[in-house]
Amino acid sequence: MNKRLHGRQPPKRHRQTEAGAALLLVLLILVLFALTTTVHYFHDNALAEHNSRQQIDQRVLAHAREALIGSALTYRDTHPSENFGYLRCPDIANEKGEAAAPCGARDTSSLGRLPWKTLGIPVLRDHAGECLWYAVSGRAKNNPKTTQFNWDTTGQFIVRDHSGTILAGTQPHERPLALLFSPGFAIGTQTRPRPSPNSGTPSECAGNPLASAYLESLTTLDDAITPITLSTTTAQNNDRISWLTSDDIFRPLMQHPDFRLAIDTLLDDFSACLGNWKMAQLPPTSATQKGLLNAAMLCSPAALEKENNFRNNWEDQLLYTRPPASATAQIDGSIHDNCAAVLLFGGLRTTWQSRADSIEQNDPAMYLEGNNAARFPASGLYTGNRSFSASTPERELLRCIRSLPEEMQQVSFVDKLDEFLVVGDGLNKKKERPAAPADPATPSGKSSISFIGNTSAASCLWYPQPLPLAGRAWRIYYTFRFEFSDTHATSTNPATADRGKGFTLQLVRGDLGAPENCGSLADMGILNSADPRGAPSLLIETDVHRDTEHNDPAGNHSAILLDGTLSHETTLGSLCTAQVTGCRHTPASKFEDSPMATHNQRVEIRTGCNSSCSSCDPATHGSSDRSHALIQVWIDCQQCLSVRNPLVTAQAPSLARCVVLPTELGTAYVGFTGGFLPPAPGQPTNSAPRQGVSIGNFYLGIE
């Protein structure tokens, strides 16, 4: 009976136990499902938030990066006399988003907040609402500038991940020039106090001035290579970083038309300067500096004023050779033979060229390829292009340097300054010679003269040898720079006296012996019509002072004048255009404008002209209807440094005059005269009306 009952119906307690276990299992499944759902929910939300934060940071860092690159690309547009590509200093004082000026010592990297206002963008904040931080290599910053900045400049940062793997900087040219930081939320002991609404804090990015309160991967900098290590543990390091290298700046910069023009102008001016010498006078190829050392001294950056800053930064890309025998240059497919010397521009690095240290930078193979690399510095055929092209930036550029003809007579400050005679104590010679290891026999292109307004007398500089003029063609080039700016001529109510006076290039008769005197300060030192040497003379006037008795205009002016007189026949109402004998300039303070600039003048005198100077043949001078001379002056001309050939340019001469050449000027002494007012009694030495001028790069070629 019991067995039957047991077989038909289990005990009630056992059935309850099974039901409870099933319920617990269901509950456990529900709990696990809910827990899993919750975990996934929070995980998905955390991941979404993390991704959202990353996206915010990536966007603002990308925006800041593009702004920095844009500022570098346009740096020369806003600083016309500067080099290309500089990066702005950070806002190291947290002053309204403005770049510091300066930011630390030369070549020392600098850290601060992004100078958003200077970059012309809104203030940028990361996902934590913090302003971006910014570090710039000392070699790339704009103030103070490094000695040489170009596409071979290496950055001063190396970026690694938490495991030590290098993310940026494996090779020297991959080192970042700049870093951008998104600091994120404060972690650890970082404190970032916020100013009260009434504190009057001027900054948009107020808070702790210490970088350590924001950054974990970088807080201090110097002039060395700085490693930056990131971490995947945000509790220790939550910095996010972006960077830019030299390639990020110079690759797009190559597309800028002014970049090509600057390289071409550098080569044109340098080769023109070297071409102002006879073959025996051309500097030899140096054993160092890729053959350039002696040539760079003869034609220094100061001799190429138009591209002075560019030359200083890009000279390491140049190579020079004066081979034992003349070379041949194939430029854009055209053959140029009888090259006394060859000037080359190395172009952008190829994949196997480095140029990362002084040894590599002195190796021609790091700049030249193929036949040029194999041949340099010997004689033979060199090949390349004439102009830089962004499509083939690694291609070498060439200039064939043909020296002055042996029959051409040459006089310059570079090698003849010692021979010039100084009259008066208001003129200084500045003669320089190369320092070792340059060849001491190589003269320096920095030789110049300066007229100063410290005395009440004029000064003159005369070349002591008479030079043939009749039957010849003269070509002259020189640069000049006045000492002080002067707004007198451009001001409605001038507050100061007109600075003055000016200087002239004067040719006086050559049959009475070398001049040993100088004219009056009132006449800018010229030998005037009362002087036996000055009566038959030619002069080019550069005047910055108004003398009404001379019919001078109120502003700076130039003129071709005769026979030792500074009086203009009429009031100078014309601007400088072709075929005028005297002209005023615009602005009226052109030569004394601010900032002060270096100007040039090219003078050509051709004898053997007919009465209208429409036809000139120096060899026929003195024959029937061939006794005239054509005098032409170009002011601030382009590509006019070389005196080897007549000036061929689209720019018309600023001044021109056709005159009967006096027989007394068959030979002539040439010189500069200057009369500069001293400061008023008891006034500082730089006070008005004091003025002065420096004259350099003087070359005279006679054929």
In this prediction, residue 353 has a pLDDT band, given cuts at 50, 70 and 90, of very high
Name the domain boundary from 346, 381, 401. Answer: 401
Given this model, what pLDDT does residue 6 score? 44
The 10s digit of each residue's pLDDT in 614-659 is 999 999 999 988 999 999 999 999 889 999 999 987 789 999 999 9
What's the domain range around 138?
A: 48-187+204-252
Q: Is the pLDDT of residue 41 over 50?
A: no
Residue, of 122 and 6, whose pLDDT is higher: 122
Q: By mean pLDDT, which of 310-314, 367-371, 648-652 is the weakest? A: 648-652
424: region left, alpha or beta (phi > 0 left; psi from -120 to 50 alpha)? left
Q: Which two tokens stand for residue 317?
A: 């890309």
Residues 587, 611 within the same domain: yes
CATH classification at residue 651: 2.60.120.200
Looking at the structure, tell me whether residues 379 and 237 fall in a common domain. no
Q: Mean pLDDT lowest for which of 102-116, 395-409, 567-581, 583-597?
A: 567-581
pTM for this model (two decimals): 0.86
Note whether 264 and 378 are same-domain residues. Answer: yes
Mean pLDDT of 573-585: 86
Residue pair 279/340 in contact (Cβ under 8 Å)? The answer is yes
How confident is the model at residue 39, as a pLDDT? Answer: 41
Across the range 457-483, mean pLDDT stands at 97
Residue 232 pLDDT more than 90?
Answer: no
| Element spanning 260, H or E | helix 257-274
Q: Are residues 151 and 277 in the same domain?
A: no
Residues 392 and 487 in one domain: no
pLDDT at 381 > cutoff 90: yes
Query: Does 456 lie in the same domain as 469?
Result: yes
Residue 23 domain flag:
no
Residue 14 maps to a domain: no
Place of tokens 């004067």: 506
**Per-residue pLDDT at 16:** 54
In a domain, 10, yes or no: no
Query: Can you tell me the mean pLDDT for 298-302?
Result: 84
189 residue type, one letter: T
Q: Is residue 437 part of a domain?
A: no
Quote the number of domains for the chain. Answer: 3
Based on the domain organization, do 473 and 555 belong to the same domain? yes
Asked if 263 and 238 sit in the same domain, the reply is no
Q: Confidence class of residue 56 from pLDDT cuts 50, 70 and 90?
A: very high
The per-residue pLDDT for 679 is 87
Mean pLDDT over 96-119 rounds to 95
SS3 506: strand
Mean pLDDT of 233-245: 86
Q: Tell me what pLDDT residue 440 has.
A: 67
Q: Over 60: is that where the pLDDT of 110 sits? A: yes
Looking at the predicted structure, is the pLDDT value of residue 207 above 70? yes
Q: How many residues does the chain have?
A: 703
**Is residue 540 located within the same domain as residue 572?**
yes
DSSP state, residue 102: S
92 and 238 inside one domain: yes
**Residue with token string 């003379």:** 537
- The pLDDT value recorded for residue 684 is 86
Within-domain flag for 657 = yes
| CA-based nearest residue to 413, from 449, 464, 439 | 449
Please give the pLDDT value at position 43.
Answer: 44
**Does any domain span residue 601?**
yes
pLDDT in tens, 266-285: 999 999 999 999 999 999 99
- Per-residue pLDDT averaged across 535-552, rounded? 95
Tens digits of per-residue pLDDT, 505-517? 999 999 999 999 9
DSSP letter (8 states) at residue 194: P
pLDDT in tens, 66-101: 999 999 999 999 998 889 999 999 999 887 899 999
271 within domain boundaries: yes
Buried b (16+ CB within 10 A) or exposed e, 395-426: bbbbbbbbbbeeebebbbbbbbbeebeebbeb
The whole-number pLDDT of residue 7 equals 46
Q: What is the structure's pLDDT at 308?
A: 67
Is-contact 469 600, C-beta < 8 A? no
**pLDDT, the chain, mean:** 89
Read off the pLDDT of each residue in 324-334 and give the average, rounded to a whole number: 96
pLDDT band at 695 (very low <50, low <70, confident <90, very high): very high
Residues 229 and 363 in one domain: no
The mean pLDDT of 3-16, rounded to a whole number, is 48
655-694 residue pLDDT tens: 999 999 999 999 999 999 999 998 888 888 888 899 999 9
Q: Scanning the structure block, which residue is given the tokens 């194999």?
A: 374
Are both 345 and 394 inside the same structural domain?
Answer: yes
pLDDT at 587: 93
Q: What percent of the chain has pLDDT over 70?
A: 89
Contacts 24+ apart (CB under 8 A), 544-549: 544/482, 544/486, 544/499, 544/500, 544/501, 544/502, 544/591, 544/592, 544/691, 545/498, 545/499, 545/500, 545/501, 545/502, 545/677, 545/689, 545/691, 546/489, 546/498, 546/500, 547/501, 547/522
**Domain-located, residue 520:** yes
**540 Cβ contact list (under 8 Å, min separation 6):** 504, 505, 506, 558, 559, 560, 561, 601, 603, 633, 655
CA distance 559 to 308: 28
For range 386-408, the mean pLDDT: 96
